[in-house]
């Protein structure tokens, strides 16, 4: 029995949906990785800034 037009269309839509879901999952993973990178950079900046402030205070007494 041949597939009807709606069955063929439903299969195409299902395939497209699966591809879109995979693309979305990939984009979400990249976004999560980038967000973690920004979080790490902010923590490093804070630590460096605090260290620099201490060193400046040692060099330039109040």
- For residue 58, what pLDDT is reported? 83
The reply to whether the predicted model has a pTM over 0.75 is: no
pLDDT in tens, the chain (62 residues): 577 999 999 999 999 999 999 999 999 999 999 999 999 999 999 999 988 988 888 888 77
Is residue 18 situated within a structural domain? yes
The Cα–Cα gap between 43 and 61 comes to 27
Radius of gyration in angstroms for the set of CA atoms belonging to the chain, rounded to a whole number: 27
Nearest to 23 by CA among 57, 15, 45, 48: 15
In a domain, 41, yes or no: yes
Give the range of the structural domain holding residue 36, as residue numbers without chain letter. Answer: 7-62
Distance of CA 5 to the CA centre of its chain: 39
Number of domains in the chain: 1
């Amino acid at each position: 029995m041949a597939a009807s037009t709606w069955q063929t269309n439903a299969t195409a839509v299902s395939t497209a949906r699966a591809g879109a879901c995979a693309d979305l999952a990939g984009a979400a993973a990249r976004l999560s990785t980038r967000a973690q990178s920004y979080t790490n950079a902010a923590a490093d900046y804070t630590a460096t800034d605090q260290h620099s402030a201490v060193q400046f205070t040692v060099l330039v007494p109040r």
